[in-house]
Each structure stands twice: as structure tokens, then as C-alpha cells.
Structure 1
Amino acid sequence: MVHKPIKSVAVIGAGISGVSAGAHLLRQGFEVVVFERSDVAGGVWKFDPRTGREPESSPTLYPSPPSSLKTQKSTDGFPNHRQHNKTAEDVLLDHAPPGPCYAGLRNNIPTPVMRSTLLRWPKGTPDHVTHNEIESYIQALARETGTHAVTLYNTRVEEAVKNPETGTWQVKSRTLAHKSEKEEASLGEISFHDKDWTFDAVIVAAGHYHVPLVPAIPGLAEWKRKFPSRVMHSKNYRFPEAFKDQNVFLIGAGVSSLDIAKELEHTAHKTYQSSRGGLFDLDKALLPSNSERVPGLLAFKLDEGKGFDEEEEHGSLDNTAPIPGTIHLTDGRVLSNIHQVIVASGYQTTYPFLKGLESDTLPVEEADGEIVITADKCVTHNLHKDIFYIPDPTLAFVGVPYYTSTFSMFDFQAEVVARVYAGLAKLPSRSDMEGEYAARKAKGDKGKAFHSLIRNQVSYMDEILEWVNEDLKEGANQEKRMKGVDEEWYRGYEQFKEKSRRLIPVDSSQIQQPIASRYYDGDEGGAQK
């Protein structure tokens, strides 16, 4: 399937996926350029006290923006209407929006099973560490493997398009530069350098956690419009102290929601966590003492004539006053006296630089054999093993799966890509890959479940190892066989699953806990992103 020899590869992103991809490609002798829009490697583990742009406080933009505004989106996926009055901070936020890392974030996957095959954690590293230590690990991996030296920081990819005539990828990048080293640059001290590149292959390692997903709940947009500082996405959560003595309503019951609830245990007065009962919602038994699980939402309603002018664009409230309104739940219950709403409903998967391969309007059910992202912004279509773009494997993805031991899994995927591009492993025929993919779709998994490895991470790796090593079974070729994770990893993974199982209530209907639970022996670390 990969017809012409591959010599040069672009890697988009310098989180753990991109750094791993760059490292394994360099080991195989490729010319590599890694593009990272932030100023350091680390991905979601880089803590930035700034918060990114929220959707505009308008019912047409909150929930998530519609496709008609696609051309107006900034790089965080939200429309930017301040084109004529932009400040230096606006420009910086547009170029590289802060990630979702909050001050107390720690890993939930133990470090022994959260590592690259190319770098062990320092001796004595605890199972659960801070985001600072994890960011440092990624940066050490980048330095020691040579990936740091081939990474262009402050550089984002604007476009990556295959040229059918030359068989190469045309990549357009934009690099931000400061004319001074001052912490706060003025608009005149910021400049951009655009460049066109040509590569034989492209690896997308951009991650999941960039564009917030905001659900369409009646009245939520009105709450956001009237009191914009009181409704936020979890991507902009940073410190629990901001919610002292408040009543907080969390939308969603996944990892981020549980993390925030745990952080607010000794700060907030009361936390409500709304769950629709999805299979990937974490069990309510894991919630802290001041939190309560409530059912799904019907609507948000504002009271009339209580503390704000209905004609005002933005209402103003005393910092200690609750939002003058009520939250209506599917069981008939009505909540009031809520100070803050945090939308912890996840993120949209989007690769806006893949021109022609992403659609804001095509329903997921109508995905054809070429599209990568449809309007659902969740499933990444037409990938072999969640890695290779079936119509053209010179486009590959590292980091697509959910609910997995991310560092180890993405390192594994990165080595697979490097080996295929180096000719050490051969992809099946396009028709065979299409047949396997069609059979997978026929199973009926929807949304994140389609990419979930929660129940089959080991079998996934074993199956790929058998394929990758198929032609390296005899003689001297055995030394070239891909080894994958080591026995220490397998032992640690089994211990982790067993420890997790002890936390699951026997009557739980959820399926995520064996891979996503994070509360071990009173540990109060945060969740892995």
C-alpha cells in the first residue's frame, strides 16, 4: 500500500503521541519534523494558569458552534468575532490555546504501565505523580531520543493535503515569534512566519483534548449569555479555591467530572453530578462525601426579575449570590441555589488541517470510504487498527484509542508506524483492510466505544505484534522483531486491573472502572488525560 519509499515524515503534535512517533521514526533513520503549537513538549500535561476561549455567550454558539461558522473558528474550535479589536493575548490564545491541565492533576494509570519503551521512569518514582513530573518525563523522552532537536515549537499546522500528482504531502505551517522576551508582549511585538513543506508521509498526533463539546440543553445558552463567568467547560477549570463555599453543578459523569468533584470535596459547599447513565460514566460510589449523583437534564431556567435586567446582555451578580434560576432534572426534581455550572461533557475530535477529510455536516451514519471526521466529531473513520488511513497509509494517526494505558499504547502505535514506513512490516491489501474495518463497524459500537480498548488492550497489542512480525520469524530476522511492552508491564497491568476491580461496587452497570478508576488507598491524584 505504501508504494514510494518514505524518507521524510511530518508529525503533528508534541505530546506523548508525537514525541513517541518522532523518537521511533528517528530510530529508523527518517527525516522528521515535529510541529508543536505550544512552546514546549508535553501536550495535555503542560499546566497553563491561563484559560482558553469559551464559546461566545450566544444561543447560536453555545452549545458547540455549528458548521456555518467553520471558517471563523480559531484553533480552539470556537468562532472568534473580535478580529478587528484583537489584543496580544487574543492572538496568543488563538495560536495555541491552553490545554485542560489543572493545578492538582495527577495520573490515574500507574507509572509502571504508563511509559515509553524508550525511557524508564527514574528509579523510585511513585505510581502516581504530579503533572509537573509527567511533563518532565515527556520532555526528557524528547531530549534523549533526539525528538526535541527536530521539533518546531510555537508552530501550528494550518493545512496538510496530499498532492495526487507528486504523491507527496503539502504542509503549511505558521510559527509565532516574539520580538522581545517580555512575558507580556504587545500586539506589535508578535509576528508570524508561514512556510510550505513537502513530506512523504504525515502522522497526526494531535490528541483529543482541544475543542470542548457543549451539549444542547434547553436554557443552558441563556444561562451562559446572562452570566458568562458562571458557566464554563471543564477545560477551563484550574483551581478548587475559586469555588469555595459554592454549590456546583457538574454536567457529565466521566473522568474529568469525577476529578473536579474530588478536588471540590473540601472547598465547595455542595456538588451535584448529572449522569445520563452511560456505560462509560464512573460509578457514583467513587464520589466524595459532599457530592450527589443526580439524573439527566431537562432544562435550565432563569427566574424573572430577580437580581438582573432581562434586557441586559450580561447579568451581574454578587460573588456570593447563586444564579437566579432552576435546573430541571429528568426525574422531576428541581434544583436551585446553584452558583456555578461546569460542563464536563468531553471534547470534539477534529483535525481541521486535514482539508477535505473532515465534514461538519455529514452524519456519522453516512460516512463513506474516504472521510476521516464526520459531524459527530467523535469517531475517526477509515483507519486500520486505529492507526493507518486505509485509502492512503502515508497518513497515519497515533493516539486515537480511548480508555487505555495511553503512554504505553501510543508508544506501541508509534513504533508500528515507524516499522511499516521502514519496510520492516507490510500492511494488508486495501481490500483486506476495508473488509476488516467494515466488520468492525457492523458490530454497532457508537461514539467513544468504537475506539475503546477498555476490554481488549492486550489482545489488540498481541494481534498487531503477530502481524508486524509475520515476516520476521526465521534466522537473523528474529532480532528485528518488534517486542512491544515487556513482562514487567504485563505484571503491572494485571495488578492495576485487579486493584481497580476491588473499587467497583458489585452491582455496578458501568464498564469503565477497570481502566479509569484512580482512587487507590486514599490517593487523591487526578485522572490521566
Structure 2
Amino acid sequence: MASKFSSRTALPQRVPARILIVGGGPSGIAALRALLDDHAGAEALPWRRRDVALYERRADVGGVWYLEQDIARYEASLPAGTAQGQWPLHPPSSSTPAWPSPAYPALRGNVLPRFLSFSAAPFPAPSEGETFPTLDETHAYLRNAAQRARANVRCGMEVLGAWELGDNDGWAVRVRDWNEGGAERIEYWDALVVATGWYDAPIYPPVPGLASAVASGLVHHAKWYRTASTYALPRYAARQIVVVGNGNSANDAAAHLAQTTTKERPVLRSVIEAARPVFVSLPDERIRDVPAVKRYVLKEEGGEQTLDLELVDGTVIANTVVLLGVGYEAGTIPWVHLLRNASASPSALDAAFDARSPAAAALYAPLTPPPRLAEARATPGASPTTADADIVDAWPFRLPNLHMHCVHAINPSLSFVGLPVTNTPFVLADLHARYIRCIYERSILLPSSRSARQLDETQRVARLIARRAEVAALDAAMRDDWARAREAGEETALAQAAAPQVGPEAYHVIVSYNEEQLHALHLRAKVVEVRPWLDEVMDSWDDEREKERKGMYERKRETLIRQKKRREEEEKIRALSAKH
């Protein structure tokens, strides 16, 4: 099938006069700092400082690290104890919608401060001698990092959609200004930096019965998890808690929930693979791993719904409440629209422009499909999507037509910060932002052809396809070895509810085979070549740095052990106090 963008050729680089950054999390702050950098050694800005803006729809910057306590309390006050599936929220006490962070008050990071540090802005040491910072400490760092450019930040600005204009003339952006009661307008910008991350698009695995189970309210996603106390509410208290996944969010939630139960009635953690070293958790007799879910079975009993789980080994777990800790869809950006054909293109959009109209669909195509389970999460302004070579959910799924995961190959006035899933997202966002700055000011020149700009994408897709059969074979061999070890009664295999796995690999996940380091070293060399002063302040990405990064997970384990011992000592003290 011909691509909707097959007739498009690469547009030339231009120095933009007005730049809009969408999103005020770590990636947006990194972009703002890079585009406005006027530290000693930096070149004069090629654009007016006042013509760079960051729009954030929430009340403050910080992204996932900004947890609004009043909104968290409102979520807890809802009859279900959670705002599951509601997006955005509409608290009765406010005329402004809320887009809550997927974080939770007890969150403590798992990345060392060195790898949370933007260039020329070291992260302070965590308080009380801790190794990893708290949620509040990370938010404070991000607010401070944005402070010098705070005049360029506008909160309460919801971006509904963006449409490419013809003649390489920038972008029409529909915004809803909650500082003006939600008034909508179309603004024009020369360049657009998308820094929205991917927490708007939670993953719901394609398992039979899941959609009905979600609709029943008995399956929750970790995006809306705040506290274990939710599961003590009458609707959930008698049900078996099952956490699906064994990544960071699932492990944290299971550990919180375990503190509310006993080893006789443990939290069940359903896994599709054995734990990976980067997702650190401690053994706990109140948490028991079980195999993956094969089917969700919703029943009606005595006027009340119950949810049973059929596992891949044939086991049935009755009367459950499920928390999905399975992550988010990286690279889902349906609200940005590219012209299908540059020769038939508007130079402006009318204020009454309807993104869903046939006329719009004839002119534009969205960059990607919307999230695959759309309940209350479809982005306003996103056009319907039909199958197409540029946007279908074909393997490997990706945001297509990108140069180095961060610059659009057809129209380089569109860029992305924070798109890949990596081991150290803050410092990679900082590097991508520096690279984008060089692209925008033309100190780094892109190849003139679209194919040359997309060469890294073409090569990565080819590598993933070539490795796909190899990874599948390796995974099959590992499953066979695991099954034989269980039959032989080997202790390690018996303790695992699923076999170790290597795959599957994903396009925007660059964590294996030193991919993150190699990618970063390539971009870093290009940036330092034209901006030598950055060599002293950017992350080095060298082998010593990688050694420290790989040792980070053992340090996290040591931290968890130390925290566990401290909790046990506190429990002993409380028990002694109660006796007296």
C-alpha cells in the first residue's frame, strides 16, 4: 500500500523565529534550557528569547514528578477509591480539568542523581544520606532547573492539536487556555518541540476478556495507582489482589500492597517472564509470583460482578481485583498532523477548523494511531486513522520518519524530546535537546534527502527484523531450559513463575546491546564538535560512566534492604511500645 506521505520530500532546514515546546516535564525543561542557553561559552541566541515558549496544561512543571496532593485526595475520595479510566479529571472544586501524574506519594526514584542531572545543573545529594531521591526532591530539582527560563513557561495551556502548514511555513497549533476559562484559539509557530512523554497512553495487553474486565472497574492500571489503602475499601477487600507485571511500577505497588496483607493471603504477581536485573525488588513471603494471565472471565453472582483469571498453566484464580503494571505506549502522538501532499497545502487554518472533518482528513494524516484502548483517553483533536504504511501498528511499531529518534525527517521544524525508553531518560533528553538546538540554529546540517535523514531508522528497523528470529529462538531455548530445570527440581527455576526472556525488542526502547550508550556517543560527538564548551558539562557517556550506571541496580537493591531493616526495627519499637 502506498504511504500517505510517499510524495513528500525532505524540507530544508530553516532557523525558526518562534518555537513552541509542548510539555513541562523533564523533557520539556531540557528543551527549554537548551534553546535558551546563554551560559558562558554559548553562542548568541539565533532567536529572540521571548519567542520561545513552553506550554504545560497542568498548574506547574515537573511532569510525572509533579504530584498534586489535592488531586490525589480527590481521587481517593471517589466511591471506587480511584479515578481509574477518567482522563482528564473534573474535580467539582475547580473549573479547570486535572491531568494527574501517574506517580504516588511513596515513590522514590531508582536512578542515581548523576543520571538525573541536566548539563551544567548537577542534581543535589538526596536528604538523610539516601542514595536515590524522593518524588518531592526530584520535582524541586526540575522546578529549579526551569527557574531561569520561568518567564517563558505558561501553565494551564492545553495543546489540542498541531497541523503542518505549507511552504515550510511552520505549524498551526490549537490551544485551550485554562487561564482564560478554557478559551480556544489557533496560534502559529515556526517550530514545534513535542516533549509530552508517553504517560497518556497506558498499555492494556491484548488478552481475551480484558476490555470487559476494565469496564467493570475490577481491572486498574498503575497510571491511576496512588496508595495501597484503595484496596482496603469494601468493594475490593475480600478479593484476591493480583498485580500484573514485574517492572518498576508493578514491583513498587506489590511491595506496598504486601504491607497490608499476610503470607497466608499473599499478593499475587502475574508475570510473563522472569525478573530482569534492572527491575529491582526484594523477596517477600507476602508476594507470590504466578504465570501470565490467559483470559479474564467476568461473572455475575448474586447481583455482584466477580472477576476470575485463567492463567497459562491452567490455574484459575477466583474473585480478583487486578492492577496492571505493564507500562505505556511509547511513540503514540496522534494529535500532530502532517500534510499528505505538500503541493496542496494551506498557509493558515481558520479558527473554526474541524480536525475531524472530511476536508481535514483529505489534507492531513496523524503521525500515529491513537492509543489502542481508547476509553476516555483519545486525545481531543485527533483525526480518525486508517491503515497506512506510515502509521499502521506494524512491527516494529514506531513513530515513523524520524532522524535519530528526535527530528522529523520530512519536516525538521518538528522535533521530539523524551521519546525513547532508556535507562537514563533525563540525561538523554538533555542530549537530544542540545542536538535539536544545533539543528534549529543550523550549526549541524542534516542531509538534504529524506532517505539519508532516515538512514538510522532504516538501519535500526533492519537490525530488529534480522534479530527477531534469533531473539525468538533464544527465548524458546531459554523456556525449554527453564522447564527442564523445574522438572529436575532446581531451586532457582522453581522460584520463577515464568522463564527468563531476551525479547521482544521494541523500536523506541534502546536499552539492550549498549544501544543507549552508542546512540548517545554518536550525537554527543556531533554536538561537541560545533559547541566544544558543552564537553565539560554534558554527561560523558563513556565506559566508566556505563560501569557506574550498570552498578546502579545493585545499589538500589542495597537501598531496599536498608529500608526494609529500618521498617522492621520501627515495627519492633511499635510492638514494644504497645506492650507497655
TM-score interval, smaller chain: 0.7 to 0.9
Q: Does 1:495 align with 2:569?
A: no
Q: Does 1:132 align with 2:142?
A: no
Q: Does 1:247 align with 2:240?
A: yes
Moved more, 259-268 or 412-421: 259-268
Shift of 1:328: 1.0
Question: 1:209: which partner in 2?
Answer: 199
Identity among equivalent positions (%) equals 23
For the residues of structure 2 that align with 1:8 and 1:44, how far apart are their CA atoms?
Answer: 27
Shift of 1:280: 6.5
Q: Does 1:440 align with 2:455?
A: no
For the residues of structure 2 that align with 1:442 and 1:488, how far apart are their CA atoms?
Answer: 25
Q: Does 1:37 align with 2:19?
A: no
Q: Does 1:198 align with 2:191?
A: no
Q: Is the 8 A contact 2:25 2:64 kept in 1?
A: yes
For the residues of structure 1 that align with 2:115 and 2:167, how far apart are their CA atoms?
Answer: 44
Shift of 1:140: 0.5
Instruction: State the superposition RMSD in angstroms.
Output: 3.7
Shift of 1:452: 2.2
Change (3 A) 1:89 1:211: farther
Change (3 A) 1:98 1:351: same
Which amino acid is the alignment partner of residue 315 of structure 2?
Answer: R
For the residues of structure 2 that align with 1:41 and 1:35, how far apart are their CA atoms?
Answer: 9
Equivalent residues in 2 for 1:40-439, closer than 5 Å: 40-49=60-69, 50=71, 88=92, 92-93=96-97, 96-122=98-124, 126-144=130-148, 146=149, 148-165=150-167, 167-177=169-179, 191-226=181-216, 228=217, 230-244=218-232, 247-269=240-262, 270-277=266-273, 286-304=282-300, 306=301, 308-309=302-303, 315=304, 324-338=306-320, 340-349=321-330, 350-355=332-337, 356-360=365-369, 368=389, 371=391, 374=393, 379-430=398-449, 431-439=451-459
Shift of 1:14: 0.4
Change (3 A) 1:397 1:382: same
For the residues of structure 2 that align with 1:284 and 1:106, how far apart are their CA atoms?
Answer: 13
Question: 2:488: which partner in 1?
Answer: none
Change (3 A) 1:375 1:36: farther
Change (3 A) 1:464 1:234: same
For the residues of structure 2 that align with 1:378 and 1:426, how far apart are their CA atoms?
Answer: 28
Which amino acid is the alignment partner of residue 292 of structure 1?
Answer: R
Shift of 1:20: 0.9
Secondary structure at the residue paired with 1:348? Answer: coil
Which amino acid is the alignment partner of residue 21 of structure 2?
Answer: V
Question: 2:508: which partner in 1?
Answer: 451
Q: Is the 8 A contact 1:109 1:518 kept in 2?
A: no
Q: Does 1:466 align with 2:447?
A: no
For the residues of structure 2 that align with 1:327 and 1:237, how far apart are their CA atoms?
Answer: 21
For residues 271-316 of structure 1, the C-alpha deviation after alignment (integer angstroms, 9 at most, x for no partner) is 1111222897977974533111211112222455x3x32xxxxx3x
Q: Is the 8 A contact 2:13 2:440 kept in 1?
A: no
For the residues of structure 2 that align with 1:87 and 1:494, how far apart are their CA atoms?
Answer: 47
For residues 209-266 of structure 1, the C-alpha deviation after alignment (integer angstroms, 9 at most, x for no partner) is 122222343333444444x2x3311111111233357631012222211111122231
Structure 2 unaligned blocks of 5 or more: 1-10, 38-43, 76-83, 338-364, 373-384, 469-503, 565-580
Which amino acid is the alignment partner of residue 234 of structure 1?
Answer: A
Q: Does 1:22 align with 2:32?
A: yes
Shift of 1:393: 1.1
For the residues of structure 1 that align with 2:193 and 2:279, how far apart are their CA atoms?
Answer: 36
Q: Is the 8 A contact 2:13 2:442 kept in 1?
A: no
For residues 485-515 of structure 1, the C-alpha deviation after alignment (integer angstroms, 9 at most, x for no partner) is 3459975552231353x59xxxxxxxxxxxx
Q: Max radius of gyration: which structure?
A: 2
Q: Is the 8 A contact 1:380 1:400 kept in 2?
A: no
Match of 2:538 among 471, 485, 493: 485
Which amino acid is the alignment partner of residue 251 of structure 1?
Answer: V
Shift of 1:441: 0.7
For the residues of structure 2 that align with 1:116 and 1:232, how far apart are their CA atoms?
Answer: 34
For residues 369-389 of structure 1, the C-alpha deviation after alignment (integer angstroms, 9 at most, x for no partner) is x54x74889622221111111
For residues 97-124 of structure 1, the C-alpha deviation after alignment (integer angstroms, 9 at most, x for no partner) is 2120111111101112211113122356
For the residues of structure 2 that align with 1:387 and 1:429, how far apart are their CA atoms?
Answer: 17
For the residues of structure 2 that align with 1:278 and 1:393, how far apart are their CA atoms?
Answer: 41
Shift of 1:469: 4.3
Q: Is the 8 A contact 1:112 1:492 kept in 2?
A: no
Change (3 A) 1:237 1:378: farther
For the residues of structure 2 that align with 1:124 and 1:301, how far apart are their CA atoms?
Answer: 46
Change (3 A) 1:479 1:408: closer
Change (3 A) 1:437 1:496: closer
For the residues of structure 2 that align with 1:488 and 1:351, how far apart are their CA atoms?
Answer: 29
Structure 1 unaligned blocks of 5 or more: 54-62, 65-73, 81-85, 179-190, 310-314, 316-322, 473-477, 504-516
Structure whose residues are more often helix by fraction:
2
For the residues of structure 2 that align with 1:8 and 1:448, how far apart are their CA atoms?
Answer: 38
Shift of 1:443: 1.5
Q: Is the 8 A contact 2:13 2:446 kept in 1?
A: no
Shift of 1:127: 2.8
Change (3 A) 1:367 1:400: farther
Which amino acid is the alignment partner of residue 224 of structure 2?
Answer: N
Secondary structure at the residue paired with 1:392? Answer: coil
Change (3 A) 1:396 1:488: closer
Secondary structure at the residue paired with 2:258? Answer: coil
For the residues of structure 2 that align with 1:289 and 1:109, how far apart are their CA atoms?
Answer: 27
